[in-house]
Amino acid sequence: MTDTRKPPGGRPAGWADKDDVWRAVWTYCTSLFRVDEDSSGDPFADYIGSGTFVRHEGFPCLLTAAHVWNAMKKYRGVGFVTDVDVILLKVPIEAMTAVYVSKPRSVEWGPDFALIRLSEVNVQRLNLRKAFYDLRRDRSAALGPGGGRLCVLVGATAEGSRMTPDEAFLKNRQLASSTPRVTHHGRFSYVQVSWGAHPDAPTTWGGLSGAGLWVVDPERNNPRLAGVAFCERRSTKKRPGFIRCHQLPDIEKRLSPGFKRSPKPEAK
């Protein structure tokens, strides 16, 4: 089952505190498990990361981090979390097809994202509880200035979650920032979402890899997908920690039919 509660009490800047924001984003989000059998033939499921349900050129897909997909594809199947208190929806790995998987050159800068096509049969089961975000939607001003918009990340952290052979209690968290930092490295642009010194922040956000980065206007409740999380830098006494995300335009460029991989490294 899944814990979807927000941090209690007064919520300082940096934490999204509206249930409407949560629900608007959560409908596209999922937590991912790799499922298989152990040496004794008993089934198991290991929590591995996060993802976003999207449509690319009309086809249903999963958008996640490349290192998350690479960790799942070696197993018999993938388990999707679709809602609170719902058992995993298990999909055999052969029912999933890699459309594009980047080749990370470093943990810190990637590139680290993957688009995986899902079979229509399994999509029918997902449609009962989840929605697929159309990548053709206009995001021209998704990361533009002003407007009181928030950059939001939603997903379950391994810290705070409990796993047993029979069930999983996931600690879902919602992190938001109205002042994300945009950085550049090589041919890529990144968004860094910091959590500062919030007392409810976990010591590590492991488990959010592959989660979608959303830009949300709390008043209009219209989330727009803006990127994919893939790397965490932990807090120190001298600097706040942050989660680094690829920007969606960089990902879409590499999904276009005319894009050709460069023989040179895309990031140094």
Tens digits of residue pLDDT in 195-253: 766 667 788 888 899 999 999 876 676 789 999 999 998 877 777 789 999 999 999 99
Question: Which residue would you say has higher pLDDT here, 178 or 53?
Answer: 53
Tell me: pLDDT of 52 over 90: yes
- pLDDT-based confidence at residue 65 (cuts at 50, 70, 90): very high
Task: Examine the pLDDT at 142 and tell me if it is beyond 80.
Answer: no
The pLDDT of residue 126: 83
Please enumerate in sequence order all residues whose Cβ is within 8 A of that of 229, keeping only pairs 6 or more positions apart, or say none.
50, 65, 153, 155, 193, 208, 209, 210, 211, 212, 213, 243, 244, 245
Count Cβ atoms below 10 Å from residue 56 Cβ, excluding itself. Answer: 20
How confident is the model over 5-15, as a mean pLDDT? 39
Mean pLDDT of 60-74: 95
- Please state, for a pLDDT cut of 70, what percent of the chain lies above it: 78
Q: How confident is the model at residue 36 (pLDDT cuts 50, 70, 90)?
A: confident
| Top-confidence residue, 37 or 234 | 234
Residue 2: the pLDDT is 39
Domains of the chain: 2-23+140-255 (2.40.10), 28-133 (2.40.10)
Going by C-alpha positions, the residue among 181, 169, 206, 193 that lies closest to residue 241 is 193
Q: What is the pLDDT of residues 83-128, one digit of tens each?
A: 765 667 888 899 999 999 999 999 999 999 999 999 887 888 887 7
For the chain, the average pLDDT equals 80
**Residue 189's pLDDT is what?**
93
Q: Which of 82, 212, 80, 109 is nearest to 152 (CA)?
A: 212
Q: Work out whether the CA dihedral 100, 104, 107, 108 comes out positive or negative.
A: negative
Residue 172 has pLDDT above 80, yes or no: yes
Strand 133-134 and strand 43-56: the pairing is parallel
Q: Which two tokens stand for residue 222?
A: 């219209």
149 vs 4: which has the higher pLDDT: 149
